[in-house]
Homo-oligomer: A and B are copies of this chain.
Amino acid sequence: MTKERLYLFDTTLRDGAQTAGVEFSVEDKITITKLLDNLGVDYIEGGYPGANVVDTEFFEKDRTKNATFTAFGMTKRAGRSVENDPGVQGLLNSAAKAICFVAKAWDKQIEMAMGISQAENIEAIQSSVEATLSAKKECIVDCEHFFDGYKSNPDYAISCAKAAYDAGARWVVLCDTNGGTMPDEIEAIVTHVQQSVPGSHLGIHVHNDTEQAVANTLAAVRAGVRHVQGTLNGIGERCGNANMISLIPTFALKKPFCDELEIGVGQKELEGLTSLSRQFDELLNRAPARQAPYVGASAFATKAGIHASAILKDPSSYEHIDPAVVGNERNVMVSQQAGKSNLLTVLERVGLKIEKDDPRLDQLLRKVKEREARGYSYDGADASFALLARRTFGQLPQFFRVESFRTSVERRYNANGDLITMSEAIVKIEVDGEMLMSVAEGNGPVNALDLAMRKDLGKYSDRIDDLELVDFKVRILNGGTGAVTRVLVESRDNTGERWFTVGVSPNIIDASFEALYESVTYKLMKTES
């Protein structure tokens, strides 16, 4: 059976830019375009030239090698010609190879929000499409609010879609702009629309307001559309757009899609999906979602002891796909519930090949359980677990020793009557028999300690140059300031690796210092040759 082609249209740089807190520079857009172009999507919608300076500059050149470089904009205004509409002229004169127009399809919107007639709206669609084809560009028409429009006035909504198709649009995209439509409604409406526009010219664009953007997209594809719009990691206005990172492996691996349809993303690119998703989060300066389908750090993680031993016998018992296919990995966690088989898997992951009957395994397991009873948690702190294991197996040198530290915070009114707070720390470290003492100020006692400890590590100083603290989480375990404190520190370096270390103590400063010390030690361990 020959497979039908399914086209992927990425709108990360356009609809994704509507995400609260996200703002792309031209440089960001260039970087993301490269990621998408290598992934194998068919269209990259880069923005709205004319709407702001970033997008206008971005569309001065064609930025893609493989994908069709696409500009977004509004159909021409009613009451003026395409030639006299500066918005449309800006699109036609940009470096884009395709133009994606947003067109109204909801009778209520046309009358109320735009104040034009239904016929004027149809004419605007037609002439915008025709002008695009005359400019030798491919034309795509997003029918905004299509599903709400259909429920209000099906004939008119369909006539908008049909007008775009008849005028020569390559794709007519049905949009669930408000995100409130259910999958079965999508399927029924898409089926009906195909009496007027063939599925091979229909697309789908949905939002995640009921947590069903992926399901709604798949429902439309099952019903016949052959073009899907989405964004990396599902960013987008409100609850986000359909998540390309979940859709791509579903199309590639799940029936009936993988049997009947073909996408432009190859096997090798699929193996890069986890890394791409995390790179994109890096760019947005946010921590990747651990629970993200297919690509999250927890997507193939197992905590329960019984599940862990079953998974080692037969991975398909708790894994719906082989994680390697999307570049992810199995993650059997060490926790209260862990057994020995769990432990062996984790040890292998951190580079320790241990025999099943090595007596030190029991020793390590006891240590883990004893420390977890005291408040440590290793399922979120792989690096600390790796250090604990190496210490137990005698494979960790003591790079440096902390002799003592002191930190103080003082708040008072200064000579000008301003309230000021000063934090200072002194750390005394022994490296190779030599005592090094450093002092630093910080914007808090932990920050000051961190700076003081890393200020001078003697011969190791060069090796921690690129160590950077990303996040710092504090959890009080029994309630009240008198309880046990667990601190989790996330670090990264220039290789792009992120690691997590943990510290526990009744004293928040001790716990923080332990996690910081572990992070530095892990960095030294991994740079040991």
Instruction: List A residues at the B interface (Cβ < 8 Å).
Output: 18-21, 23, 25, 27, 52, 108-109, 112-113, 145, 148, 177-180, 182-184, 208-212, 214-216, 218-219, 222, 234-235, 237-240, 243, 246, 250, 254-255, 285, 287, 290-294, 296-304, 307, 310, 313-314, 316-321, 331, 333, 335-337, 377, 379-380, 402-413, 421, 423, 442-447, 450, 468-483, 485, 490, 505-510, 513
User: Considering the chains assembled together, what is the distance between the CA atoms of A413 and B430 in angstroms?
Assistant: 14
| A411 & B510 in contact (Cβ 8 Å cutoff) | yes
| B239 & A177 in contact (Cβ 8 Å cutoff) | no
| B405 & A411 in contact (Cβ 8 Å cutoff) | yes
Distance between A177 CB and nearest chain B CB, rounded to angstroms: 7
Given A21-B290, A285-B473, A404-B413, 13 more pairs with CB closer than 8 A: A20-B298, A20-B301, A20-B380, A21-B377, A21-B379, A210-B214, A211-B215, A237-B303, A287-B479, A407-B408, A407-B409, A444-B507, A479-B490
Contacts of A445 in B (CB 8 A): 409, 445, 508-509
Distance between A355 CB and nearest chain B CB, rounded to angstroms: 25
Instruction: Take A238-B298, A298-B238, A423-B509 as given contacts and tell me if A336 and B411 are in contact as well, using a CB distance cutoff of 8 Å.
Output: no
| B304 & A237 in contact (Cβ 8 Å cutoff) | yes
| B471 & A25 in contact (Cβ 8 Å cutoff) | no
Contacts of A240 in B (CB 8 A): 291
Distance between A429 CB and nearest chain B CB, rounded to angstroms: 12
User: Considering the chains assembled together, what is the distance between the CA atoms of A485 and B490 in angstroms?
Assistant: 16
| A238 & B180 in contact (Cβ 8 Å cutoff) | no
Distance between A189 CB and nearest chain B CB, rounded to angstroms: 14
Distance between A435 CB and nearest chain B CB, rounded to angstroms: 13
User: Considering the chains assembled together, what is the distance between the CA atoms of A411 and B408 in angstroms?
Assistant: 12
Q: Please give me the residue from chain B that is nearest to A406 by CB atom.
A: B410
Stoichiometry, as copies per complex, reads 2
| A285 & B475 in contact (Cβ 8 Å cutoff) | yes
| B421 & A411 in contact (Cβ 8 Å cutoff) | no
Contacts of A510 in B (CB 8 A): 409, 411, 421, 444
Distance between A323 CB and nearest chain B CB, rounded to angstroms: 10
Q: Please give me the residue from chain B that is nearest to A446 by CB atom.
A: B481
Query: Which of B237, B377, B468 meets A23, CB within 8 Å?
Result: B377
User: Considering the chains assembled together, what is the distance between the CA atoms of A469 and B483 in angstroms?
Assistant: 10
Distance between A284 CB and nearest chain B CB, rounded to angstroms: 9
User: Considering the chains assembled together, what is the distance between the CA atoms of A25 and B423 in angstroms?
Assistant: 34
Contacts of A210 in B (CB 8 A): 214, 246, 250, 254, 293-294, 320
Distance between A74 CB and nearest chain B CB, rounded to angstroms: 8
Distance between A165 CB and nearest chain B CB, rounded to angstroms: 25
User: Considering the chains assembled together, what is the distance between the CA atoms of A49 and B183 in angstroms?
Assistant: 39
| B112 & A293 in contact (Cβ 8 Å cutoff) | no
| A406 & B409 in contact (Cβ 8 Å cutoff) | yes
Contacts of A254 in B (CB 8 A): 180, 182, 210
Contacts of A509 in B (CB 8 A): 409, 411, 421, 423, 444-445
| B319 & A237 in contact (Cβ 8 Å cutoff) | no
| B411 & A333 in contact (Cβ 8 Å cutoff) | no
Contacts of A182 in B (CB 8 A): 218, 254-255
Distance between A73 CB and nearest chain B CB, rounded to angstroms: 12
| B320 & A180 in contact (Cβ 8 Å cutoff) | yes
Instruction: Give 4 nearest A-B pairs by CB, closest first.
Output: A180-B320, A215-B215, A474-B474, A408-B408
13 A-B residue pairs with Cβ-Cβ distance under 8 Å, sorted by A, are A20-B303, A21-B290, A52-B336, A108-B314, A178-B317, A183-B215, A184-B222, A234-B291, A238-B300, A287-B479, A405-B411, A406-B409, A472-B483
| A406 & B404 in contact (Cβ 8 Å cutoff) | no
User: Considering the chains assembled together, what is the distance between the CA atoms of A25 and B479 in angstroms?
Assistant: 11
Contacts of A301 in B (CB 8 A): 20, 237-238
Contacts of A250 in B (CB 8 A): 210
Distance between A453 CB and nearest chain B CB, rounded to angstroms: 12
User: Considering the chains assembled together, what is the distance between the CA atoms of A25 and B377 in angstroms?
Assistant: 13
Contacts of A148 in B (CB 8 A): 316
Q: Please give me the residue from chain B that is nearest to A303 by CB atom.
A: B18
Q: Please give me the residue from chain B that is nearest to A112 by CB atom.
A: B314
